[in-house]
Amino acid sequence: MYRFNFFHNGTMRNLLVNIDHVATLRNARGETVPDPVEAAMVAEKAGAAGIVFHLREDRRHIRDDDVYRLRKVTRGLFDFEMAATDEMIEICTGIKADLVTLVPESREELTTEGGLDMRKVRDDYREKVFPPFKQAGIAISLFVDPSEEDIAISAELEAEAVELHTGSYANATTDPVRKNELKRLRDAAIQAHELGLRVNAGHGLNFENIQPFLDHVPHLADISIGHALIADALFNGLENTVRRMVSIIKG
Ligand code: PXP
């Protein structure tokens, strides 16, 4: 039923580990450790179904050399998160990622702040951005807010997946807001699934908020988590941390 059948295990829920912040720590001292590539190997050994990284224009965490080294060791899904610039498209198609996750990017932000404005990028994506990925056989996921219009446009463009931005849910400070965000995510997941899109999700998920999210939102496939895992790993070890999150996600 999906347009692309490269996905490793159909529609089961999976954890993809984002290793950007291992590189953040390494770069803070200009050292070679901790090595994000080693982190990727540990994460996969602990049951992660794949690895995500965001190669940013300013290379503030992951660097080009990391991407090439990661490609060699990653056995599961290799998810290349990026802004749709000519430079990134060239690197991503050259290395033949399994999946590209397209995100908005601005220099000033601390982390990705919101989903893509699909109405704004629609024509550019259709004409310039999608063709090289389609030609290279790379599946495309669009990082979007749980908005009906953004999801409808993602399907119209024939993306393979959407990644639902869970940041507003994760940042909710009151129960009514949290409930409302869960409802928006649930509606968005149902809509995306009905339109034949794979439903991925991520941003701000952690050990406290993951279970209600899993309980309310159907059709989930790849769930990307970074910051909370790397933070927890400082106290519990990355292998233990990833194993625990995999077991929650697998239910
Ligand atoms: N998905 C996307 C598109 C992201 O930009 C990020 C942050 O890099 C994540 C998932 C992971 O978010 P977090 O680090 O908050 O778990």
Q: Is residue 1 part of a domain?
A: no
Query: Is 8 part of any domain?
Result: no
- Tens of pLDDT along 40-59? 999 999 999 999 999 999 99
Domain membership flag for residue 128: yes
Q: Which residues pair with 15 in a beta bridge?
A: 223
> Could you tell me which residue, 107 or 115, shows the higher pLDDT?
115
- Give the model's pLDDT for residue 166: 98
Instruction: Give pLDDT, residue 7.
Output: 54
Average pLDDT over residues 145-174: 98
- Structural domain count of the chain: 1
SS (H, E, C) 33-50: CCCHHHHHHHHHHCCCCE
| Burial class, 160, CB count within 10 angstroms (exposed 0-12 / middle 13-18 / buried 19+) | buried
* pLDDT score at 203: 98
Q: What is the pLDDT of residue 107?
A: 76
> Residue 111 Cα, ligand 1 centroid: separation in angstroms?
8
Flag whether 210 is in a domain.
yes
Q: Which residues contact 245 (CB under 8 A, 6 or more apart)?
A: 15, 207, 210, 225, 229
**Position 212 in a domain:** yes
Domain-located, residue 5? no
Q: Which pLDDT band holds residue 110 (cuts at 50, 70, 90)?
A: confident
For the residues 107-126, what does the mean pLDDT come to?
90
How far does residue 92's CA lie from ligand 1's centre (Å)? Answer: 18
Atom of ligand 1 lying closest to residue 203 CA: 12
pLDDT band at 190 (very low <50, low <70, confident <90, very high): very high
**Ligand 1, residues 24, 105, 112, 171: which to mutate, most atoms within 8 A of Cβ?**
112
So what's the pLDDT on residue 11? Answer: 61
Would you state the pLDDT for residue 2?
36
**Mean pLDDT, residues 107-128 taken together:** 91
Domain of 219, CATH number, reads 3.20.20.70
Q: Is 80 exceeded by the pLDDT of residue 64?
A: yes
Domain interval for residue 177: 14-250
Q: Is residue 137 situated within a structural domain?
A: yes
pTM here? Answer: 0.96
Protein residues whose CB sits closer than 6 Å to any atom of ligand 1:
18, 20, 54, 81, 101, 103, 111-112, 143, 163, 202-205, 224-228
Rounded to an integer, the average pLDDT of 167-177 is 98
Tell me, what's the pLDDT at 244? 98
173-201 average pLDDT score: 98
Query: Quick one: pLDDT at residue 1?
Result: 29
What's the CA gap between 237 and 251, in Å, rounded?
21
Residue 3 lies in a domain: no
